[in-house]
Amino acid sequence: MTRLVWSDEYSVGDTEIDRQHQEIFSLIDRLDDQDMDASAMSVTFEKLDIYVREHFADEEEKDEGGGLS
């Protein structure tokens, strides 16, 4: 799997949202760890699921308030 590497070109101009995007990249990247056992992978998927849900809620809230362009 190709590593996901954050680049400033992905920035939406909101520090909090950009930080969340970077964390999502990191969680996805962890899934490619060849040494990760099934239990650790399951935990990572669960963290990713929770984090993405929270992230989209944050984005929607900011979008409704005019915080994202």
Q: Tell me which H or E stretch contains 24.
A: helix 15-30
Q: What is the pTM of this model?
A: 0.80
Q: Over the stretch 1-31, which tens digit does the pLDDT of each residue have?
A: 678 889 999 999 999 999 999 999 999 998 8
Instruction: Assess contact for 59 and 18: CB atoms under 8 A.
Output: no
pLDDT at 41: 93
Cβ 30 vs Cβ 1: under 8 Å: no
Q: From the centroid of its chain, how far is CA 61?
A: 17
What confidence tens digit (pLDDT) does each residue in 37-65 have?
A: 999 999 999 999 999 999 999 999 988 87
What is the pLDDT, as a whole number, of residue 32?
87
